[in-house]
Amino acid sequence: MAAETGTPTTLTLKSNDDELFSVAESAAILSVTIRNMVEDGCAGGVIPLDNVDGKTLASVITYMNGISAIPADEEKKKSYRDKFLSDKDFETLADMVLAANYLNMSCLMDAVSAKIAQVMEKKSVGWVRRKFGIENDYTPEEEAAVKEEHKWTFEGVETDDDN
């Protein structure tokens, strides 16, 4: 890691659509992927992040800055995460979970996974297939049989609004 100097070290991150972002090293190393690059001395110039687009990276950096400004207080960090994710739609959350996975940020990964689960909970099977891009590989008979076996679990499913 860089030697302690008067001014904090800044890193430049590049998204896969060529947007450049400046971020304090202390915040950026929340990502294990970035931390490893810094430790290996590969962070001299611009750090290319080939799997993250600019919109998502901007959001992740907002999170990095926000969470690293909070001192070691798990409860405050948790409420920051909850607030940060509260207004995100499914598509944004899906992009973020992929980015968190690529950047190896376990706390963000856990929080986004839990948030996606919360969004999914009352949704229909059809909604899940559409949002996750999953092809229904059951025959109509097979699907009816699986559904019949777990009929009672379909109580309280919301009608699709695709939000």
Phi, psi at residue 26, to the nearest 5°?
A: -60, -30
Return the residue matching tokens 């739609």: 89
> Site for another protein (CB under 8 A): which residue of 133, 140, 141, 159?
133
d(CA 84, CA 156): 28
Is 136 an interacting residue with respect to another protein (CB under 8 A)? yes
Question: Could you tell me if 98 and 59 are in contact, meaning their C-beta atoms sit under 8 angstroms apart?
Answer: no
Helix (H, G, I), strand (E, B) or coil at 11: strand
What is the nearest approach in angstroms of another protein to the Cβ of residue 51?
11
* Binding track over 21-60 against another protein, x by CB under 8 A: ----------------------------------------
Which residues 143-162 are close enough to bind another protein by CB under 8 A?
A: 143, 146-147, 150, 152-154, 157, 162
Q: State the residues that interact with another protein by CB under 8 A.
A: 74, 78, 91, 94, 97-98, 101, 109-110, 113-114, 116-118, 120-122, 125, 128-138, 143, 146-147, 150, 152-154, 157, 162
